[in-house]
Structure 1
Amino acid sequence: MPKVVHFEIPADDPERAINFYKEVFGWKIDKWEGEFDYWLVEAGEEDEPGINGAIKPKEFGNMVSDVISVDSYDEFAKKIEMSGGKMITEKMTIPDMGYTGSFQDTEGNILGIIEIFPMD
């Protein structure tokens, strides 16, 4: 069953946001080594319940969003559309990670889906 596996927090000033979340919650935050500005958030210890996430520049969207892991991006994009939702971004490849995109549900909420590539 698909479940929420990641959150994203948009920021006008990512460095300011990083400092805030580090100081307030003690989160570990490191810059992603990928093609665009994105900071990975470790929001607690591995043995604690919950999920990790990221801080992103607002140019990539200005709402906090959750990302749901699916086994087939294309299948779930189709299911979203057929059930009254709307895909709002094109399918994007994250090198060495998987496929992702954003959708709007029937209530206007923006979320993401991700199909993670199988690990060898």
Structure 2
Amino acid sequence: MPRISHFDIPADDPQRAQKFYKQVFNWKFEKWDGSMDYWMATTGTEEPGINGGLSKRMLGQIGITNTINVPSIDKYSKKISEKGGQIIIPKMPILKVGWFAQCMDTEGNMFGIIEMDETAE
């Protein structure tokens, strides 16, 4: 069963947001070595949970976005569309990570889907 595996926090001021999450929750941030300004967020290791990331807010981006691991991005993109959802950003590679798509459910909630694939370019 596909599960949420990652979250993304959009920020108008990424440094200010990182400071907030560090001071409140003691989260750790490390600059991702990919092609965009993105920081990986480590939320802890003692309790069950997931880690995520933080980036500069893109136009129209509101709220935290959860990303769900799926075995096939093509199959799930089709299912989402058939069941009344929308594909907002179609399948795109995340270098050496996998294939990603940004979606919207029937209630207007944004979420991502990802198919892990280290050969993605």
Shorter-chain TM range is over 0.9
- In the alignment, which residue of structure 1 is the partner of 2:48? 49
**Distance (whole Å) between structure 1 residues aligned to residue 85 and residue 115 of structure 2:** 18
Matching of residues 77-92 of structure 1 within 5 Å: 77-92=77-92
Q: Is this contact kept in 1: 2:95–2:118, CA < 8 A?
A: no
Gap runs ≥5 in structure 2: none
- In 2, are the aligned partners of 1:11 and 1:62 still within 8 Å (CA)? no
CA distance in 2, matches of 1:30, 1:62: 23
8 A contact 1:73–1:100 mirrored in 2: yes
Q: Deviations over 1:49-92 (max 9, x none)?
A: 11000111102733211000000000000000001100000211
Q: Deviations 1:20-39 (Å, cap 9, x if unpaired)?
A: 11111111110100000111
Report matched runs for 1:19-30 at 5 Å: 19-30=19-30
Q: Which residue identity lines up with residue 104 of structure 1 in the other structure?
A: M
Deviates more, 1:54-63 or 1:103-112: 54-63
SS of 1:59's equivalent in the other structure is coil
What is residue 10 of structure 2 aligned with on the other side? 10
Alignment partner, residue 69 of structure 1: 69
* Cα RMSD, aligned residues only: 1.4
Q: Which runs of 4+ in 1 moved over 3 A?
A: none
With normalisation by structure 2, the TM-score equals 0.92
Letter in 2 for 1:101: A
| Residues paired across the two proteins, number | 118
Structure 1: segments with no counterpart, 5+ residues? none
Give the partner amino acid of 1:24: V
